[in-house]
A and B are shown apart, each in its own frame.
Chain A
Amino acid sequence: MIELLLPPLFAGLAVALVSGPMGAFVVWRRMAFFGDTLAHGALLGAALGLALDISLYLAVVAVCLGLAGALTALQHQQQLASDTLLGIVAHTTLALGVIAISLQEGIQVDLFAYLFGDLLAVGWQDALALWAGAILILLLMLWQWRSLLSITVSEELAQVEGVAVQRTRLLLMLLLALLIAGAIRTVGVLLITSLLVIPAASARRLTHTPAQMAAVASVLGTLSVLAGLAVSWFANTPVGPSIVVAASSVFVLTLLRKPA
């Protein structure tokens, strides 16, 4: 029986590993709502993928990137605050996604699996694809680490110092879109942001440098996936929410520690 758990376990660990550094940037750059919006858009992407009969991941990444571009363009008009814009876009795309999925004829789509994840249904092929994606994202982040961090500290200073600010910001969005497309299978659309934000937030109190915070977030995320899977296995709870509750429990534990 336990071998049934192995692919989900590997898949979950891949997502948790890469969510550490990515989540750190989401926290530093205050992109939680932005990530959430992309995740909501992912549902629309999944629906389009099903309708057009193309790869789900491809469709989700395409929609996320389109959304990221549209949001960046929208933020240039300054009458509405960006969280208002994000609220509009997030819920519109979520609604469109649900409608699009309900319109699929003949196919019975498990909406619940997209919204809250269905990690236990992940097979070896998906797990390997997730690991490939995770390694790709981590390598790109490592390669661009100083630029990514520079634009996070101050985009103006970075630009004066010769960092390609636009390109770096685009890279970060692309990587985030990739991660969300992958993570949709593990924790689902509604819970992805929590896997990004919670471990990183927990790591803040325990660390003194950006790299430490990213690494510790990976470790805490990994622990949360392990704990969530175990709880789900023994108590028969849904996997995605179990992982999130595990991550939140870790966060509460870190609150007991004095800030570093």
Chain B
Amino acid sequence: MSEPLVNVQAVSVTLGGNSVLSEVSLTLAPGRITTLIGPNGAGKSTLARVVLGLVTPSSGSVNRRKGLRVGYMPQHIKIDDSLPLTVDRFLWLAAPGPTSARRAALEQAGVAHLRRRAVQQLSGGEMQRVLLARALLRKPDLLVLDEPAQGVDVAGQNALYGLLKSVRDDLGCAILLISHDLHLVMAATDEVICLQRHVCCSGSPESVSRDPAYHELFGPGGGTPNLALYTHDHDHDHDLHGDAQPGHQHDGNCHHD
């Protein structure tokens, strides 16, 4: 495998006195699609933000390849109404260049018709697509997408994952996806990392979906229903929301590769 684009080693993050991530490691290599899954509050977005350099970890190391070009699609952004900004200008900010490049990126994301609209007039879903176009426009080495499938119907999700695969094949870039369920990302993902403040399990989608730690996080209904549940020893309990109960110390026992 070629040199990793981003290497995150044993990173812990504390925000406002609360431990959000502990001892998380992650490697992103060119041409691979990695998906972070986990319940709300599991630290998925925080881990993505560590990768992006937006959050400084309290311990551990993050190495990014020099000159790494990153495209980032946040869940949403709020642009002040006082700023007269068309979608076209919004894309221009990320990469000045000919209009044709911006038109092509918008077309790729399926929103070419929005090019002359004001960004404030877009719906949430449209804004996401525009953010995706903006990320693609930069011809990134690494593409980070925060919940790209939110509010998208099943057909739309399939199209989206198809698009991501073809982007990966065209640009040879690494893709980091955040999702809160495994169902639809399965087909399009090379590696799944199941996160609950620490890495509970990781590996190919098939192995993760068979992993007891995955069922522990999502309950029997969260996994593929026809798979038997494994009994396993876990060193902590999760409440109904999947949040680890306070006082839990991670000692590395619950890593199931």
A contacts, CB < 8 Å to B: 27-30, 146, 149-150, 152-154, 156-157, 159-161, 201, 204, 207-210, 212-213, 260
- Chain B residue total in the interface (Cβ 8 A): 23
Q: State how many angstroms separate the Cβ of A249 from the closest Cβ of chain B.
A: 20
Contacts of B155 on A, CB cut-off 8 Å? none
Other than A146-B96, A153-B90, A157-B74, give 19 A-B pairs with Cβ distance below 8 A.
A30-B80, A150-B93, A150-B94, A154-B79, A156-B72, A156-B77, A157-B77, A159-B54, A160-B72, A161-B72, A161-B94, A161-B138, A207-B84, A208-B86, A208-B118, A209-B86, A210-B89, A212-B84, A260-B84
Contacts of A146 on B, CB cut-off 8 Å? 93, 96
Q: Which residue of B lies closest to A147 (CB)?
A: B93
The total number of A-B Cβ pairs within 8 Å is: 61
A153 touching B93 by the CB < 8 A rule?
Answer: yes
Query: Which of chain B's residues 101-140 have a Cβ closer than 8 Å to chain A?
Result: 118, 134, 138
A161 touching B70 by the CB < 8 A rule?
Answer: yes
Q: Is B219 an interface residue (CB 8 A)?
A: no
Contacts of A157 on B, CB cut-off 8 Å? 72, 74, 77, 94, 134
B contacts, CB < 8 Å to A: 52-54, 70, 72, 74, 77, 79-80, 82-86, 89-90, 93-94, 96, 118, 134, 138, 144
User: How far, in whole Å, are A209 and B79 apart by their CA atoms in the complex?
Assistant: 14
Q: Can you spell out 5 A-B residue pairs with CB atoms less than 8 angstroms apart?
A: A28-B83, A156-B54, A157-B94, A204-B82, A210-B89
From known contacts A146-B93, A149-B93, infer whether A28 and B70 are also in contact, taking CB-CB under 8 Å: no
User: How far, in whole Å, are A260 and B81 apart by their CA atoms in the complex?
Assistant: 12
Q: State how many angstroms separate the Cβ of B69 from the closest Cβ of chain A.
A: 8
